[in-house]
């Protein structure tokens, strides 16, 4: 089955899992917050992080049911970060994938709270997961490190600080590795944590692969911000230029950025080509997120 | 030693622990975010939640060093909630304990991010704590439940929804039990989780005590918003009235609210008076937070 079809099938299933997750959360405690939280995760997202984790489960022969709480937790963290990023004080975006952002649909206060509570929910799901204790502990550790000061939040801060400034390639890579890469890597690390037979060296190769596809993903994102239409993106095209951000195309030119994405992509594949697992699904995933057009 | 002196001593020690915690977090990853996070917890707070946990440790004969990560985690969650509550989209407060709030001192974006990253840090501290695995798991579970949708965030949402509305006593108690009570109760529950000899019944009594002092604490907060000066509070006096909130004094009158606080206080003491532990320090704590004048 081609990866697009597989992703679509996964999205349908995963969206049902999300509906189930929220139906298990009593909606009468704080109804508006419940709505804002569910709205924020039900936004037609690509579900790339949970999908990557599911692919890792396939590659490492882990029961896909077992990693489900980790998949939902990853998406909760990703969704909360989008809700907060969209706020007027941050990127000030009214649209996300063609739909009103959370603070437009509800209000700013509930967008802040929905983000906060989605973050908490992520850790709650992990700690209540029906898996062995050491896996649970690893998951919480991985997700906390990837999403906090030393990961996603740190990257978001650096990204804000870099606006209207000229930033070099190394700084740009660092910003993206924290802001976007850390959570993609977490998806892979959470998969590795659920498979005890993995050696440290194998784990490191999977994680290095994740870091590199994270970087390639971001370069592609920068490229699409220049080349794609607002319609295809589901968000305003050219928003990087609008906010005067350094991007791969602005630093390397469009052709240079395309070349760089390809180079990083190849380097990612090299990491996992000799592993004693059928890593083809991961290679397909890498290909897919780098060749995507929106 | 009287409880005020003990609290002061604890605050000094605990503030040093906080400084240590942040010195262990590399400040060169995202310097501005690091500053905003540290600023947000170094705000001269009363440290009541960590203090309550330390008192629980004393009562239950738990090594105070052991519960330190839980104490810091509680304060990280409390601090993050204050930072987000103070935002223009929420309570819009410029001052907190006489100092500029985080979004005034830094900017709104960094106040949002500092709150986010402080929440993550709380879970990271718990999962990295040097305690037995089952205690760690209980701590994460307790803190997540107390601070998320079914706890503090839910309460904050209800509180916002209740502005400019007439709210009955039962709803008001529910709002406060989620918004303020849940985290105070978490301090007590985290202490209980670290002492295996406790029976379920004993645990419930400690937790019921915590719920009741949480309620009394909030009633006293409402009372002080009417009776104390801005100087003593370190925040603008009369802010509840300004935002047209239902409060205990507005529903019961000032005398009625004072009477209610006393009644809840007595009921809290009854919960723990027959327990086979020296619960005097908890009684002193309850007395202290209900008789406080700021």
From the list A34, A107, A116, the residue facing B84 with the nearest CB is: A116
> Using one digit for the tens of pLDDT, what is the confidence trace for B12-49?
999 999 999 999 999 999 999 999 999 999 988 999 99
> Using one digit for the tens of pLDDT, what is the confidence trace for A178-221?
999 999 999 999 999 999 999 999 999 999 999 999 999 999 98
From the list B124, B140, B178, the residue facing A127 with the nearest CB is: B140
Answer yes or no: do A32 and B161 touch at CB < 8 A. yes
Mean pLDDT of all residues in B245-252: 91
Give whole-number Cα distances, B129 to B12, B72, B76, B264, in Å: 22, 11, 15, 35
CA distance A26 to A55: 31
Q: How confident is the model at residue B250 (pLDDT cuts 50, 70, 90)?
A: very high
Contact present, A209 and A289 (Cβ < 8 Å): no
Q: Is residue B69 part of a domain?
A: yes
Q: A159 to chain B: which residues are within 8 Å by CB?
A: none
CA distance B257 to A275: 69
Nearest CA in chain A to B152: A117
Q: Tell me what pLDDT residue A166 has.
A: 86
Residue A142 C-alpha from the chain's centroid: 14
CATH of the domain at B231: 1.10.600.10
> Using one digit for the tens of pLDDT, what is the confidence trace for A112-139?
999 999 999 999 999 999 999 999 999 9
Answer yes or no: do B137 and A149 touch at CB < 8 A. no
At residue A101, what are phi and psi to the nearest 5 degrees?
-70, 165
Q: Following CA atoms A163, A165, A169, A175 in sequence, which dihedral angle do they give, to the nearest 10 degrees?
A: -30
Low-confidence ranges of chain A (pLDDT < 50): none
> Using one digit for the tens of pLDDT, what is the confidence trace for B89-119?
999 999 998 899 999 999 999 999 999 999 9
Identify the domain containing residue A176 by its residue range. 3-22+31-291
Contact present, B114 and A114 (Cβ < 8 Å): no
The domain tally of chain A equals 1
Q: Tell me what pLDDT residue A245 has.
A: 79
Nearest CA in chain A to B87: A109
Is the model's pLDDT at B239 over the cut of 70?
no
Is the model's pLDDT at B199 over the cut of 60?
yes
Q: Which residues of B174-195 are buried (b: 16+ CB within 10 A; e: fewer)?
A: bbbbbbbbbbbbbbbbbbbbbb
Q: B179 to chain A: which residues are within 8 Å by CB?
A: none
Rounded (5°) CA angle A15-A21-A23: 105
Give the number of A-B residue pairs with CB atoms closer than 8 Å. 159
From the list B110, B121, B156, the residue facing A148 with the nearest CB is: B121
Answer yes or no: do B29 and A150 touch at CB < 8 A. yes
ipTM of the complex: 0.95
For chain B, where are the alpha helices, taking DSSP H only? 3-23, 31-41, 48-59, 68-85, 102-105, 108-127, 133-147, 152-161, 169-176, 182-193, 200-227, 230-233, 239-242, 248-272, 280-291
Answer yes or no: do B84 and A110 touch at CB < 8 A. no
The SS3 of residue B150 is coil
From the list B33, B89, B124, the residue facing A157 with the nearest CB is: B33
Nearest CA in chain B to A133: B133
Rounded to a whole number of angstroms, the distance between the first and last alpha carbons of chain A is 21
Answer yes or no: do A133 and B128 touch at CB < 8 A. no
Answer yes or no: do B30 and A155 touch at CB < 8 A. yes
Q: How far is B72 from chain A (nearest CA, A)?
A: 16
Q: How far is A174 from chain B (nearest CA, A)?
A: 9
CA dihedral for A161, A164, A170, A172, sign (positive or negative): positive
The count of C-alpha atoms lying within 13 angstroms of the C-alpha of A169, restricted to the half-sphere facing its C-beta, is: 9
From the list A89, A141, A155, the residue facing B109 with the nearest CB is: A89
Answer yes or no: do A127 and B141 touch at CB < 8 A. yes
Answer yes or no: do A157 and B25 touch at CB < 8 A. no
Nearest residue to A120 (alpha-carbon basis) of B147, B175, B152: B147
Q: How confident is the model at residue B225 (pLDDT cuts 50, 70, 90)?
A: confident
CA distance B210 to B216: 10
Q: B133 to chain A: which residues are within 8 Å by CB?
A: 133-134, 137
Answer yes or no: do B32 and A157 touch at CB < 8 A. yes
Answer yes or no: do B137 and A141 touch at CB < 8 A. no
CA distance A38 to A80: 11
CA distance B74 to B187: 7
Mutate to test the interface with A, among B23, B25, B30 (most CBs of A within 10 A): B30
Nearest residue to B121 (alpha-carbon basis) of A188, A123, A39: A123
Q: How far is A166 from chain B (nearest CA, A)?
A: 17
Question: Which residues are within 8 A (CB) of A179 and not within 5 positions of it... i.e. 6 or more apart?
Answer: A152, A155, A156, A158, A159, A218
Contact present, A134 and B107 (Cβ < 8 Å): no
Q: From the CB of residue A24, how many other CB atoms can be counted at a distance below 10 Å? A: 7
């Amino acid at each position: 089955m081609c990866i697009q079809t597989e992703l679509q099938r996964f999205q349908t299933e995963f969206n049902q899992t999300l509906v189930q997750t929220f139906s298990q959360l009593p909606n009468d405690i704080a109804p508006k917050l419940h709505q804002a939280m569910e709205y924020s995760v039900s936004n037609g997202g690509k579900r790339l992080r949970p999908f990557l984790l599911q692919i890792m489960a396939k590659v490492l022969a882990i029961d896909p049911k077992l990693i489900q709480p980790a998949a939902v937790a990853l998406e909760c963290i990703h969704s909360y970060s989008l809700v907060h990023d969209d706020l007027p004080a941050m990127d000030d975006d009214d649209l996300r994938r063609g739909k009103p952002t959370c603070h437009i649909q509800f209000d700013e206060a509930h967008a802040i709270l929905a983000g906060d509570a989605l973050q908490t929910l992520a850790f709650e799901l992990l700690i209540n997961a029906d898996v062995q204790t050491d896996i649970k502990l690893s998951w919480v550790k991985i997700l906390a490190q990837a999403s906090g000061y030393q990961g996603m939040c740190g990257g978001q801060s650096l990204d804000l600080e870099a606006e209207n400034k000229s930033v070099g390639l190394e700084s740009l890579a660092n910003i993206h590795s924290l802001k976007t890469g850390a959570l993609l890597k977490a998806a892979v690390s959470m998969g590795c944590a659920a498979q005890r037979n993995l050696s440290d060296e194998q784990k490191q190769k999977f994680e290095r692969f994740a870091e590199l596809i994270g970087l390639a993903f971001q370069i592609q994102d920068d490229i699409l911000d220049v080349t794609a239409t607002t319609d295809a993106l589901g968000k305003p095209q050219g928003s990087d230029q609008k906010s005067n951000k350094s991007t791969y195309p602005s630093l390397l030119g469009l052709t240079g950025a395309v070349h760089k994405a390809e180079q990083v992509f190849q380097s990612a594949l090299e990491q996992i080509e000799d592993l004693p697992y059928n890593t083809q699904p991961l290679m397909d995933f890498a290909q897919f997120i780098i060749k995507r057009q929106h």
